[in-house]
Structure 1
Amino acid sequence: MLLTLTTTRAPADDLGFLLHKHPGKVQRFDQAFGTAHVFYPEAGPDRCTAALLLDVDPVRLVRTRGKNSPDFSLGQYVNDRPYAASSLLASAMAAVFRTAMRGRCDARSELAATPIPLEITLPALPSRGGPRQAERFFGPLGWRVDAAPVPLDEAFPAWGDSRHVTLTLTGTARLADALNQLYVLLPALDESKHYWLAPDEVDKLLRAGEGWLAAHPERAAITRRYLPGRHALVRAALGRLADADQAPEEALSQPEIEEHADEPAVPLAERRAQAVLEALRAEGARSVLDLGCGQGRLLTRLARDGAFPEVRGADVSYRAVEIARRRTRDDAAVREVFQGALTYADARFEGHDAAVLMEVVEHIDPPRLEAVERVVFGAARPRVVVVTTPNAEHNVRYEGLAPGALRHPDHRFEWTRAQFRAWADRVCAAHGYQVRHLPVGDDDPEVGAPTQLGVFTR
């Protein structure tokens, strides 16, 4: 199976720096199921192509899968795995291009952060759903998708097409983003995994999908197909994606998996937003500042609630601010959405009845948290501050979360209930507030609710 990556950004052969593979060498990497080769069919200043060729050993593949393989005995040896891109290619890509997928390139750090023109080609890709499925998965990410069906046998056209396509993606993206999208979407298109799915597969999905999967219109289908047959893992992954800041608000109105009767009627992200609104109403807040507003999910709720005639949002991410502005441009209550860092005093933070830090503090490095406290509770000093954060004790109830893992790749920490109360008490003592604590979500008698909420008032 073959994957090629081509760029024309001059000097094009800097692609070798991004991939950490020298264009003048042919390199070999042993895998549990075969051998991966990296080479450059062309490498010049105007155009450079890197190729990943995976030579799958069917016998070795059977041995790695062991006795639990669902295939009938002959099917373990006679299949399309040596020729068609699948989860095996994604696994090899993660091993061979690990540093590139993390977006690291010490020699060309500015290039690693820059979108570059790319053409990606996969001559044989299993796509359950055909070319249209490939377009549905890759199109919303900004790629121009050319997916041509592969006939079962060119000598017998009446037999029709196979389930494979020849896929070419053309667009401009960071190389790390392109590789992570391929890592997730290749096995999702195939709708099959060729290794045992451990609970940490959810963490792998969220790491590779960070920044794009939560906002993808097909994220539920992608998640189900990436984790085939593992309904508990799918529920855990979709729940954590719904908590991600990139999740579009319209996706929160109903459960992602309707066939499971035990799925909560209202997703946690929706219950959290509702709890914040109720706390603000109870305190009589009229002007509200959403600190760390992200892409504006809560801003739209505040603006359309009717109880808050003056709403503003701030976020450190310029991209998130632009999206939030577009999302709320027709909402008269939203007076301003601006870029700002919570670690620095800003006059625009002042003069509000209430401020909200919804799922924000856990994204801040602990040494910088005291600066945020001074800015919010000391300098801005609104009458009400509403803070929500995950309850680390509840993590044991997420089947797809590995022991000791955090719910989101960008979380710097997650507090237990006692830790959150200790932090809240310290803030109140330092800045003249008092706090009441509320659970958000089902309040488990042993480990508490999944989200903890504090209402600070002065």
Structure 2
Amino acid sequence: MLLTLSTTMGERPASDLGFLLHKHPERAQSFDVTAGKAHVYYPRADEHDCTVALLLETDPVELARQARQGGSWALGPYVNDRPYVASSLLAVALGKVFRTALAARCEARPELVTRAAPLRIELPAVPHGRDRELPRRLFEPLGWEVEHEVLRDPDRGETRYGRLALRGEHPVSEALNQLYVLLPVLDDAKHYWIGQDEIDKLLRAGGAWLASHPERELISGRYLVHARPLVDEARRRLTGDETDHDDTTETRPLAAQRRAAVLEVLRTTGARSVADLGCGDGKLLRDLLDDTEFGEILGVDVSTRALRIAERTLRLERRSERENRRIRLRQSALTYTDSGLAGYDAAVLMEVIEHLDPERLPALEHAVFGHARPARVVLTTPNSEYNSHYPDLANGMRHPDHRFEFDRAEFAEWTRRVAGTHGYTVTSSGVGEADRRLGQPTQLAVFTRNDLSDRDATP
């Protein structure tokens, strides 16, 4: 499987693409991925033109073990199109190899992240099934000029595959996220088990454009392999209707349980001003804004794309003037000190730290606990021990962009060290259905600054 992305980068040297992708143009790199190896190299990288290639080399033995990919006939696991045709295998490789670019992060050239660049993407073989117009219906509404040439068999005529070329001006991160979602949609299949977390992946990668896409229903259905409960929930979240029809903890999505747990901590501690650091799609901000107990709310994210999604989630244009005065959105990197984040009763780091490279954690610790110093910090992160409940995770972690995940002992050691270093006390608990041996899926820590009065510090 091969994918190439080419650009002239407009007014900048085209080779700056290497900064956005975090892959040096002068080196070829290889990565272990599901069912094989992914290779990244640059056929051309100079001042005027730059092309990066992602080549996925599949392991036929591993593919044969995934018998469902070959169909129901006896030789299906051994004779199939998986090694050659763009599919969820390529999407997972894209997510692992370019995870920082997908997350719209580039500390070396932050000004490039949101800048649209002239791009050309080529895939020599993509499936379209019986609908040869499907690639156009998926990509043209997103602003791409689509070239789709149906491939022909000398004996049987037209096949259900085609050569696909896309041209357009887009930020690189947006283009990659669109491919991450739409490659499995074209194939109408996935090579791994689909669970609740798949909705989060879909909304994280497609939230900025999927809600208004004319093929939203087809995309959601195929991406979630037509699992009706997942498709229905994705539709509710895309349209802003996340009503819980059953309030028992066991039936609520883990993301909703996390938000409820964080909100309970904030309410119990009496916080009036709250900064959601790494606010992502803005679901927690919406919950905070809906509760008049929180008088000042700040949403912070390094990604302008995430802030646009959060703004859409909040529907500020439908809010009252008083509500709009209570909330602000701000772009900021949590690994740098920012005085605009100081002075809050509470800061929330919900599912944030695992997206940082471990060597960048001390910078976040200093920026949040050492410089901003909120009265309290409420932090959640996955419990890696619980991942055995999800046997088909694509890269062994909950999300392709996770750089690490703490087990319970590692998390306890880290929280104690951070609290002791920066003058906080810490208590820990969990969120989600408990396993007697493995704990709960989400770990939660509440840091309280030592200089608070005894009354204020009481949970």
- TM-score norm. by structure 1 comes to 0.62
The alignment partner of 1:385 has SS state of: strand
1:358: Cα distance to partner? Answer: 0.9
The residue number in structure 2 matching 1:250 is 240
With 329-338 and 85-94 compared, the bigger mean Cα shift is at 85-94
C-alpha distance in 2, partners of 1:49/1:426? 45
1:421: Cα distance to partner? Answer: 2.3
Instruction: Select 1:413's aligned residue among 384, 404, 412.
Output: 404
Kindly provide the amino acid, as one letter, of the partner of residue 433 in structure 1: Y
Structure 2 residue 368 is the aligned partner of structure 1 residue 347: no
Kindly provide the amino acid, as one letter, of the partner of residue 446 in structure 1: R
C-alpha distance in 2, partners of 1:342/1:49? 32
**Contact persistence 1:90–1:183 (CA under 8 A):** no
1:416: Cα distance to partner? Answer: 1.8
The residue number in structure 1 matching 2:38 is none
**Contact persistence 1:126–1:190 (CA under 8 A):** yes
The residue number in structure 2 matching 1:158 is none
Structure 2 residue 296 is the aligned partner of structure 1 residue 306: no
C-alpha distance in 2, partners of 1:101/1:452? 23
CA deviation digits over 1:223-262, x for unaligned, max 9?
A: 8746869x8xx98xx9xx99xxxx868386579xxxxxxx
The residue number in structure 2 matching 1:394 is 386
C-alpha distance in 1, partners of 2:307/2:388? 34
The alignment partner of 2:240 has SS state of: helix
Are residues 214 and 441 of structure 1, via their aligned partners in 2, closer, same or farther at CA, if it must alter by over 3 Å? farther
The alignment partner of 1:408 has SS state of: coil
1:351: Cα distance to partner? Answer: 1.9
The residue number in structure 1 matching 2:39 is none
C-alpha distance in 2, partners of 1:254/1:144? 40
The residue number in structure 2 matching 1:37 is none
C-alpha distance in 2, partners of 1:14/1:334? 43
The residue number in structure 1 matching 2:168 is 171
* Bigger Cα Rg: 1
Kindly provide the amino acid, as one letter, of the partner of residue 353 in structure 1: D
1:268: Cα distance to partner? Answer: 1.1
1:144: Cα distance to partner? Answer: 4.5
1:339: Cα distance to partner? Answer: 2.4
The residue number in structure 1 matching 2:265 is 279
Are residues 392 and 220 of structure 1, via their aligned partners in 2, closer, same or farther at CA, if it must alter by over 3 Å? farther
Kindly provide the amino acid, as one letter, of the partner of residue 273 in structure 1: R
1:396: Cα distance to partner? Answer: 0.9
The alignment partner of 1:410 has SS state of: coil
CA deviation digits over 1:30-60, x for unaligned, max 9?
A: xx9xxxxxxx9xxxx99999999xxxxxxxx
**Contact persistence 2:66–2:77 (CA under 8 A):** no
Kindly provide the amino acid, as one letter, of the partner of residue 205 in structure 2: W
**Contact persistence 1:296–1:324 (CA under 8 A):** yes
Kindly provide the amino acid, as one letter, of the partner of residue 173 in structure 1: H
**Contact persistence 1:249–1:297 (CA under 8 A):** no
Counterparts of residues 43-82 of structure 1 (less than 5 Å): 69-70=70-71, 72=73
**Contact persistence 1:180–1:209 (CA under 8 A):** no
1:456: Cα distance to partner? Answer: 2.2
**Contact persistence 2:65–2:77 (CA under 8 A):** no
C-alpha distance in 2, partners of 1:387/1:294? 15
1:287: Cα distance to partner? Answer: 1.0
Are residues 121 and 380 of structure 1, via their aligned partners in 2, closer, same or farther at CA, if it must alter by over 3 Å? closer
C-alpha distance in 2, partners of 1:368/1:127? 42
C-alpha distance in 1, partners of 2:3/2:163? 11
Instruction: Select 1:190's aligned residue among 170, 187, 190.
Output: 187
1:136: Cα distance to partner? Answer: 5.5
**Contact persistence 1:355–1:385 (CA under 8 A):** yes
The residue number in structure 2 matching 1:359 is 351
The residue number in structure 2 matching 1:268 is 254
Kindly provide the amino acid, as one letter, of the partner of residue 405 in structure 2: E
The alignment partner of 1:443 has SS state of: coil
The residue number in structure 2 matching 1:383 is 375
The percent identity for this pair of structures is: 43
**Contact persistence 1:90–1:186 (CA under 8 A):** no
Kindly provide the amino acid, as one letter, of the partner of residue 188 in structure 1: V
**Contact persistence 2:383–2:440 (CA under 8 A):** yes
Structure 2 residue 442 is the aligned partner of structure 1 residue 451: yes
The alignment partner of 2:409 has SS state of: helix
The residue number in structure 2 matching 1:24 is none
Structure 1 gaps of 5+ residues are: 22-31, 33-39, 53-60, 104-108, 153-160, 256-262
C-alpha distance in 1, partners of 2:332/2:78? 58
C-alpha distance in 1, partners of 2:327/2:8? 43
**Contact persistence 1:10–1:47 (CA under 8 A):** no
CA deviation digits over 1:353-407, x for unaligned, max 9?
A: 111111122223334433433433343332222111111111111122268x222
The residue number in structure 2 matching 1:426 is 417
C-alpha distance in 2, partners of 1:162/1:148? 11
Kindly provide the amino acid, as one letter, of the partner of residue 421 in structure 1: A
The alignment partner of 2:260 has SS state of: helix
The alignment partner of 1:332 has SS state of: helix
**Contact persistence 2:203–2:238 (CA under 8 A):** no
- TM-score norm. by structure 2 comes to 0.62
Are residues 345 and 75 of structure 1, via their aligned partners in 2, closer, same or farther at CA, if it must alter by over 3 Å? closer
With 311-320 and 136-145 compared, the bigger mean Cα shift is at 136-145
Are residues 215 and 280 of structure 1, via their aligned partners in 2, closer, same or farther at CA, if it must alter by over 3 Å? same
The residue number in structure 2 matching 1:373 is 365
C-alpha distance in 2, partners of 1:306/1:319? 27
1:408: Cα distance to partner? Answer: 2.1
1:288: Cα distance to partner? Answer: 0.8
CA deviation digits over 1:408-447, x for unaligned, max 9?
A: 2332321122222222233333344333323211122221
CA deviation digits over 1:184-209, x for unaligned, max 9?
A: 6345323257xxx467x99xx99x98
**Contact persistence 1:90–1:182 (CA under 8 A):** no
Kindly provide the amino acid, as one letter, of the partner of residue 240 in structure 2: E
C-alpha distance in 2, partners of 1:93/1:369? 26
C-alpha distance in 1, partners of 2:133/2:73? 30
C-alpha distance in 2, partners of 1:74/1:344? 56
